[in-house]
Amino acid sequence: MDRRGFLKSAAAASLGLLAGTRTSAWAANAVLPHGLRDVRPRPGEPGWPDVAEWARLDRAVGGRLLQLQSPFAACTADTLASSCRAVLQQLGNPFYLGDQPALTQSSGWIDAWVSQPSAYAVVARSAADVAAAVAFASRHRLRLVVKGGGHSYQGTSDAPDSLLVWTRHLRETTLHDAFVASGCEGSQAPQAAVTLGAGAMWIDAYDAVTTRGGRYVQGGGCTTVGVPGLIQSGGFGSFSKRYGLAAAGLLEAEIVTADGTVRTVNARRDPELFWALKGGGGGSFGVITRLTLRMHDLPADFGGVFGAIEADTDADYRTLVTQVMAFYRRALFNPQWGEQLRFHGRRLTLHMVFQGLDQAQAQSVWEPFFEWVRAHKGCRFVSAPRILAVPAQHFWDAGFWERYVPSLIVPDHRPDAPSSYFVWAGDRSQAGQFMHGYQSAWLPQALLREGRLAHLVDALCECARSWEVALHFNKGLAGAPAEAVHAARDTATHPQVLDAFALAIIAGGGPPAYPGMPGPGPDLAGARRAARRIRRAMAPLRRLVPGAGSYIAESDFFQNDWHGAFWGPHYARLRAAKDRYDPEGLFTVHHGVGSEDWSEDGFRRLRNTSPKPVQA
């Protein structure tokens, strides 16, 4: 069943399903025993809203309250049923996954979480719908979940027995030639900007801003990631080495806070909440309903460099790694270059991007390194190097890629899908993945110095013997323009990013493993072995950089000292904003600001706090 069919049938069935819900013995405004005040109710438990209350919420949101069930429910009775086959055939399509309120982009994480639908979902079409859902959840002390793109590896857009605020349909886009944030007249110069609804993905943004608008907005590399989620994580994209953090481009946001108020926040209005949204983590401070981001002039060209090299011996590999890191320091450590070098076994994989260079210029940059590889007897290309430059306006143009290099993209071929929708071919394997492990660490630029480079090379070679390690150069702002670094200072992202030349990532996962899927299920023993290997593989880099922070959106579910690892000295300020705007902890996510007050599942308060009143 396609997205429209699913929503149509789900909406039609919602009131009938509501009638079958068990009626709670507790009215919404009942005085609860003291022991229940710090426990969020589940269906059938004291405090869970009765049928009449759910029906009132349904009316308040225009009949768009859905009672959710797993899309694999049909597979339980008959794995050959057409509805079961339709779901299974679409699991490799991340656009399909995002269009299902009962699914998430990842299917779970070994010994951490599995994707399970909420009890109910509000299909938000306006900020008023979101405010009604937030007020309802607050009044009934419900576990509240927010989902736009649904890309959280940590499972923060997923929780059973919860009320889901689903923002997928808030997708309006408006371009501005001279935007000034509300209340900032006279203190903020007009600038080019784009306003996006909370359900917009980055492909929506790039299609409007770049393909059709001829400008650039700093966003994510994966086209199906939700815009607000990336902004609230800090936000890196392929060209962050030039344009900085996506969060630093936030000019204004509309957000519904825990008291049900719809607020417009910016540098002058609710400035502490505005700052917290710039890297303080999604799902902790409220529900963003729309946001406005700075736009930039578009360079003439974007492009990429691809290839793979193998070494014959460990000694040859160490020489290769030394050579490529010295080459990076000499030729690529600047705003023009981003993305990755990957190290695994005795293989080096090139997966780099560039901006502001044409093909001949990019070729001249890389030719000295390619000549070295050809001349070194212990190394050889196993995938011939390829340099590709394209007009920047066509970089996210699906029609352009389908005409000239169709192998680089995977379009969304569903009949009702916009023609602009595609994912990069290298990202499609992430659809529905079941996570085994994920480690990340920011690497300071001091490691590139002559006296320390050898230690970095040793650590990379040791990591590569256990698992693939990727250096994401665009996820560190050392080497970026001064204005990009300066803007990033005014975000909640860990300050280590300002001095990092790269984010090292070691990660792994398996095929989709949603509960209820037919088949044998995931290899749990194998997944646990992989998780142990991934942790061990990162150990050499952690020894090299003790205290290295991690990127909140790409990090270990079991991260120790997550407050310091994600935000460092910013955590106290973030906690103060949390206490001011969400004193009761309505918005609770795994390893989010204030989550230390709650049990791992978010249903039980661990300690009483002294709530502070929300101030207008």
153-187 pLDDT per residue, tens: 999 999 999 999 999 999 999 999 999 999 999 99
Query: Across residues 7-26, what is the average pLDDT?
Result: 35
Of the residues 297, 317, 350, which one is the last residue of a structural domain? 297
Query: Across residues 187-216, what is the average pLDDT?
Result: 97
Query: Across residues 69-75, what is the average pLDDT?
Result: 89
pLDDT at 82: 85
- Are residues 473 and 344 part of one domain? yes
pLDDT at 492 over 50: yes
Q: Looking at residue 277, what DSSP letter applies?
A: H
* Digit-coded pLDDT (tens) for 285-335: 999 999 999 999 999 999 999 999 999 999 999 999 999 999 999 999 999
* Digit-coded pLDDT (tens) for 494-535: 999 999 999 999 999 999 999 999 988 999 999 999 999 999
% residues pLDDT > 70 (the chain): 92
- Are residues 488 and 351 part of one domain? yes
- Are residues 190 and 240 part of one domain? yes
Q: CA–CA separation, 163 vs 124, rounded Å?
A: 12
Q: Which residues contact 584 (CB under 8 A, 6 or more apart)?
A: 138, 258, 611
Of the residues 562, 593, 609, which one is the last residue of a structural domain? 562
Phi and psi torsions of 269, nearest 5°: -105, 120
* Digit-coded pLDDT (tens) for 426-443: 999 999 999 999 999 999
Structural domain total, the chain: 3
pLDDT at 419: 97
- Are residues 111 and 222 part of one domain? no
Determine, yes or no, domain membership for 597. no
- Are residues 306 and 290 part of one domain? no
**Residue with token string 């030729």:** 331
- Are residues 341 and 293 part of one domain? no
- Specify whether the CB–CB gap between 479 and 500 falls below 8 A: no
How many CB atoms lie under 10 A from the CB of residue 254? 22
pLDDT at 78: 74
Start-end of H helices in 467-523? 482-489, 496-499
Of the residues 252, 269, 297, which one is the last residue of a structural domain? 297
Determine, yes or no, domain membership for 42. yes
**Residue 352 is part of a domain; what is its CATH number?**
3.40.462.20
The domain containing residue 124 runs over which residues?
A: 3-166
pLDDT at 202: 98
Distances (CA, A) of 432 to 14, 107, 530, 551: 26, 5, 18, 21
Is the sign of the CA dihedral 158, 162, 165, 166 positive or negative? positive
Determine, yes or no, domain membership for 594. no
- Are residues 354 and 272 part of one domain? no
Determine, yes or no, domain membership for 598. no
- Are residues 154 and 182 part of one domain? no
pLDDT at 196: 98
pLDDT at 14 over 60: no
- Are residues 280 and 253 part of one domain? yes
- Specify whether the CB–CB gap between 206 and 217 falls below 8 A: yes
pLDDT band at 48 (very low <50, low <70, confident <90, very high): very high
Q: Please state the three-class secondary structure of 325-345 as a single string.
A: HHHHHHHHCCCCEEEEEEEEC
**Residue 257 is part of a domain; what is its CATH number?**
3.30.465.10
Distance of CA 139 to the CA centre of its chain: 30
pLDDT band at 35 (very low <50, low <70, confident <90, very high): low
pLDDT at 36 over 70: no
Query: Across residues 392-418, what is the average pLDDT?
Result: 97
Q: At residue 301, what is the residue type?
A: D
- Are residues 205 and 100 part of one domain? no
- Are residues 486 and 351 part of one domain? yes
How many CB atoms lie under 10 A from the CB of residue 103? 27
User: What is the overall mean pLDDT for the chain?
Assistant: 92
- Are residues 188 and 151 part of one domain? no
* Digit-coded pLDDT (tens) for 543-600: 999 999 999 999 999 999 999 999 999 999 999 999 999 999 999 999 999 999 999 9
pLDDT at 9 over 90: no
Determine, yes or no, domain membership for 446. yes
Please classify residue 45 by burial: count the beta carbons closer than 10 Å to its beta carbon, then call 0-12 exposed, 13-18 middle and 19+ buried: middle
* Digit-coded pLDDT (tens) for 447-476: 999 999 999 999 999 999 999 999 999 999
Determine, yes or no, domain membership for 225. yes
Please classify residue 425 by burial: count the beta carbons closer than 10 Å to its beta carbon, then call 0-12 exposed, 13-18 middle and 19+ buried: middle
Determine, yes or no, domain membership for 611. no
Determine, yes or no, domain membership for 80. yes
% residues pLDDT > 90 (the chain): 89
